[in-house]
Amino acid sequence: MATPTLTRHVVPGVLGDISVDVRAGARGSPRPAVITVHGFKGFKEWGMWPPFAERLARAGFAAVSLNMSGSGVDDAGAFSLPDRFGHNTFSIELEDLSRVIAALYRGELGAPAPPTLGLVGHSRGGGISVLQAARDPRVRALVTWAAISTVERWRPADKQRWRATGVQEIRNARTGEVLPLYTDVLDDIERNAAVLDIGAAAARLQVPWLIVHGSADEAVGIAEGESLARAAGPRARALTIDGAGHTFGAAHPWGGSTPALDRAIDATIAFLAAELAG
């Protein structure tokens, strides 16, 4: 198998450019593609994503990683675009993901249009991936890691205070940066509740789905993974990793893998290889 190479691309997004990395070998021939979708405060260079993308590429996939246009992160991995972060919404992320998929199928990301497509989404990106997979027939397989089961992430009292001030401050625990989060996301949830209903999308899904969740997830509790599995029914397979937290032990900067992350990655690649072949 040809050694994978990395190319960088830009796709116009809702709030600005979407930075896209593609890792693939033998680019002259079509191969199944896998798009990884980061979560809240995540980005394509965060910790586990580059080594995971490399593993996907070495397994024969075209591995596509992206920074949502509202991630707030530039291509160097710095939160240098705080206003984009502040105005980001779930609907914007759905549109950004759709634009990347369209660019991939137009052959604009350095590789031929893929014969099959899978999504791997983490946390909030897992919820976005469920919504996309339920509405996009090009998605043939889905994997979620520690996925949210609802876009309702804030208590009524917190939302009331947030609306009164117009902004909520979000602290980046690793760097200490304080990022603004405006009320756009609250407006989006209210206006587009049906479109953003992750549980309903899970019930509609017709593609094979692997739900991976850590039993000790401190950010998105295991109950949310169990809720998604119930909604999906027999179309989904759940993998609970005992003792694993929200990122399966991975950290940023990358300090190496963990047994929990290795298990998540191994199960994901085996699942995608089986479901996207041919």
Cβ neighbourhood burial of 195 (10 Å; 0-12, 13-18, 19+): middle
Decide if pLDDT at 201 tops 90: yes
Decide if pLDDT at 61 tops 70: yes
Half-sphere exposure of 184 (CA within 13 A, CB side): 16
**Higher per-residue confidence, 277 vs 22:** 22
Chain segment 74-131, per-residue pLDDT in tens: 988 889 999 999 999 999 999 999 999 999 999 999 999 999 999 999 999 999 999 9
* Residue of 188, 33, 38, 46 whose CA lies nearest to 113: 33
Cβ neighbourhood burial of 133 (10 Å; 0-12, 13-18, 19+): buried
**Span 258-267, mean pLDDT?**
98
Decide if pLDDT at 176 tops 80: no
* Residue of 7, 2, 204, 211 whose CA lies nearest to 104: 7
Identify the band that residue 195 occupies on the pLDDT scale cut at 50, 70 and 90.
Answer: very high
Identify the band that residue 1 occupies on the pLDDT scale cut at 50, 70 and 90.
Answer: low
Pairing of strands 139-145, 209-214: parallel
For the question of whether the overall pTM of this predicted structure is more than 0.85, the answer is yes
Decide if pLDDT at 144 tops 90: yes
pLDDT recorded at residue 174: 60
CB 179 within 8 A of CB 170: yes
Decide if pLDDT at 194 tops 90: yes
Distance CA 11, CA 14 (A): 10
User: Average model confidence (pLDDT) for the chain?
Assistant: 96
pLDDT recorded at residue 8: 97
pLDDT recorded at residue 207: 97
Chain segment 17-59, per-residue pLDDT in tens: 999 999 999 898 999 999 999 999 999 999 999 999 999 999 9
pLDDT recorded at residue 77: 86
Distance CA 249, CA 265 (A): 12
